[in-house]
Every structure is written in structure tokens, then in C-alpha cells.
């Protein structure tokens, strides 16, 4: 599977002062930033303790406070894709370079209990970050999912809209959620397929094997999908671009046609991330799907759609 190309023109070059190393002295702030970075990249559903074991032990070996990997975790590492292993490596390098307090816990055997306590806090931050991000996206999905930001989707939707009017029960959202590889079939009879997908029936399966149309370039999204080149246009849908700006720079950046440079309070600066990572696309995809879904709580099973499996498959795809 070809790798996803870098996402173009989303983050303007940051000011020079944002490129300097970030070393927050407060231990809580360091753990908070590590948790946010993990959650918004490849770790939205991760077990932080296991992620640390993989990231740290593979780099420090016998110098690690965490000790040797369990046999089960070793087997899991062997099954990891190249991209997953790179994410763990990036996590270690991020902590080593920018978060000296957390890094010190990895190398000091006398601080095992302290490491355990902070690992639990980081796990909480991963979950809280995901919840805060995704819950906020429900309020803007009706505007961001419209081709023209000045004309929201109709019927109008926001975070107050009953869930039974969302997902495949909403004619415009249904077109965005349909798996891209079934776009041609869907267009033959939208009303029929929309009703069938809402009832988890019919000829178009909605599960972790299909990437939704909104992830692809085109107006409407998915118009550029090519079965022979599934990576072409992937991650370039206008809805994806808007939510990436919302996530990494700020909501105000989404509403402006010209690039908005990040500042010291932007999420990309706080996460020491000045480019769109492939893992961001997976995080954004799950969040957009959640905002559109008729399921009341995430990550509840959405018909045949399994969020965790979709996340893992997309990371492998990227």
C-alpha cells in the first residue's frame, strides 16, 4: 500500500520563536502536553502504559525503568506495521527532546511509583483530549460539512440536533459517510441506499473496510475517488482540511480563506507539531465520523462500524 503523501498547504511556516525547543518546567504541564500529542496522533485509543513500554524499551533497552517487554507485548510489536513502530519512535524522541521531566522518569529506577502515577494522568489526558475535541466538533459539523461555509447543511444540524436525525438519516450526511468505493453504486439510487445503510442492510456495507467519502478530494467529497489509485486525493477533502485547521491552529483559521499562521497558543505549538502527520488524518476522520453519526456516544458500536478497528486499519493504510 502506498504511503499517504504530505498534506499540502495547511500549516503556514511558524514564526521562528515557535521552532525553538519547548521545555515546560511544570511536571503536570509536561504530562498534559504528552497526553495531547498522543491522543491527537496515533494514540487516541491506546493504552499509555503499553505505548510507553514499546516506545521506551525499544530505545533504552536495559536502561529503562519500565523493564523488559512481556511476551504478549513482544508478539504485538512483531505484528505492528512500520508506521505504528515509527509512531512509538516519534513519541520517544518527542519526550526525550522536549519533556525532560517525563524522560527522567523513564531512566530513574527510583521513580517507578512516580512514573506509574504520571502514566495514569497521561492516560486520562488522552481520553479527555479526545472527548473535548470531538464533542466540540458536533457544534460545527453542519457548517464545516457544507461546500460553502456561509450556507450550512440542510436540514440544519448542530450539537443540539437529535441523533436520530444524524448519520444516514440525514440525506446530505449520508452522501458524505458512504464508503468512497461505493460512491458510484450509491448515486444510482441515493434514497434506497440511504435508507438501507441507516438500517445496516442493503448492498453497501458500512464497516471498517471502507473509508468514508468525506476523506477524499472533490465537490462533493469523494468525486475524485479512483479504485485503481485509492491514495489519490485521500485526506484532501475540504471537510478534512477544515477540521485540521480547527484542530491544529484554531476555529478562526477554518473560517478564513487565507492561511493563518499558528501562535504560541495553537494546538500545533503546544504539541510541538508544525506539520500535518499521517496520524492526524486518522484522528480527524474518527472525529468527523463521530460528529456526523447517529450513535449517541463514542466509541459505541455504530451498526457494523467498529471505531477501534477502523482506526487501526487507517493507521496501517497511512
Residues 117, 166: one domain? no
Question: Which helix (H) or strand (E) is 290 found in, with range?
Answer: helix 278-292
DSSP state at residue 300:
S
Residues 148, 253: one domain? yes
Residues 128, 157: one domain? no
Q: How far is CA 177 from CA 40, 151, 304, 315, in A?
A: 22, 20, 14, 19
Per-residue pLDDT of the chain (318 residues; tens, 9 = 90+): 344 545 554 554 444 444 344 555 688 999 999 999 999 998 999 999 999 999 987 777 655 667 677 888 888 888 888 888 889 999 999 999 999 999 999 888 888 899 999 999 999 999 999 999 999 999 999 999 999 999 999 999 999 999 899 999 999 999 999 999 999 999 999 999 989 988 888 889 888 778 999 999 998 999 889 989 999 999 999 999 999 999 999 998 898 878 888 887 788 887 778 788 889 999 999 999 999 988 766 655 666 677 788 888 888 777
* CA neighbor of 101 nearest in space, from 21, 32, 25: 25
C-alpha distance across the termini of the chain, in Å: 8
* CA neighbor of 196 nearest in space, from 304, 50, 299: 304
Residues 164, 285: one domain? yes
Last residue of a domain, one of 113, 137, 161: 137
Residues 119, 239: one domain? no
Residues 95, 108: one domain? yes
Q: How far is CA 257 from CA 113, 214, 241, 284, 305, in A?
A: 49, 20, 12, 20, 34
Stated pTM of the model: 0.86
Q: How would you classify residue 295: left for phi > 0, otherwise alpha for psi between -120 and 50, otherwise beta?
A: beta
Q: How far is CA 57 from CA 24, 208, 276, in A?
A: 24, 31, 27
**Contact assessment for residue 227 and residue 181, using Cβ atoms and an 8 Å cutoff:** yes
Q: Provide the number of structural domains found in the chain.
A: 2
Q: Alpha carbon 129 to chain centroid distance? A: 11
**What is the C-alpha separation between 242 and 152, in angstroms, rounded?**
14
As given in the structure block, the three cell numbers for residue 255 are: 473560517
Range(s) of the domain holding residue 219: 142-317
As given in the structure block, the three cell numbers for residue 256 are: 478564513
**E strands within the chain?**
none
CA-only gyration radius of the chain, Å? 20
Amino acid at each position: 500500500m502506498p504511503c499517504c503523501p504530505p498534506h499540502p498547504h495547511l500549516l503556514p511556516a511558524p514564526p521562528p520563536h515557535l521552532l525553538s525547543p519547548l521545555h515546560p518546567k511544570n511536571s503536570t504541564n509536561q504530562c498534559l502536553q504528552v497526553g495531547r500529542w498522543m491522543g491527537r496522533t496515533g494514540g487516541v485509543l491506546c493504552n499509555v502504559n503499553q505505548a510507553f513500554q514499546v516506545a521506551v524499551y525499544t530505545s533504552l533497552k536495559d536502561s529503562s525503568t519500565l523493564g523488559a517487554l512481556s511476551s504478549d507485548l513482544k508478539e504485538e510489536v512483531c505484528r505492528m506495521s512500520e508506521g505504528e513502530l515509527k509512531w512509538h519512535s516519534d513519541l520517544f524522541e518527542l519526550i526525550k527532546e522536549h519533556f525532560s521531566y517525563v524522560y527522567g522518569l523513564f531512566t530513574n529506577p527510583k521513580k517507578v511509583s512516580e512514573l506509574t502515577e504520571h502514566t495514569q494522568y497521561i492516560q486520562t489526558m488522552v481520553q479527555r483530549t479526545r472527548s473535548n475535541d470531538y464533542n466540540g466538533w458536533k457544534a460545527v459539523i453542519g457548517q464545516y460539512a457544507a461546500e460553502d461555509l456561509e450556507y450550512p447543511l440542510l436540514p440544519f444540524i448542530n450539537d443540539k440536533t437529535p441523533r436520530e436525525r444524524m448519520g444516514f438519516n440525514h440525506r446530505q450526511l449520508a452522501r458524505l459517510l458512504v464508503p468512497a468505493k461505493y460512491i458510484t453504486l450509491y448515486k444510482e439510487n441515493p434514497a434506497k441506499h440511504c435508507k438501507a445503510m441507516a438500517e445496516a442492510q442493503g448492498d453497501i456495507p458500512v464497516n471498517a473496510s471502507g473509508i468514508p467519502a468525506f476523506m477524499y478530494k472533490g465537490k462533493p467529497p469523494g468525486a475524485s475517488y479512483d479504485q485503481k489509485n485509492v491514495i489519490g486525493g485521500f485526506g484532501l477533502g475540504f471537510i478534512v482540511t477544515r477540521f485540521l485547521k480547527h484542530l491544529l491552529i484554531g476555529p478562526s483559521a477554518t473560517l478564513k480563506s487565507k492561511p493563518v499562521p499558528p501562535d504560541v497558543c495553537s494546538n500545533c505549538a503546544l504539541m510541538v507539531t508544525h506539520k500535518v502527520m499521517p496520524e492526524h488524518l486518522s484522528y480527524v476522520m474518527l472525529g468527523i465520523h463521530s460528529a456526523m453519526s447517529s450513535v449517541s456516544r463514542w466509541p459505541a458500536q455504530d451498526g457494523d462500524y467498529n471505531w477501534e478497528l477502523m482506526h487501526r486499519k487507517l493507521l496501517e493504510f497511512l
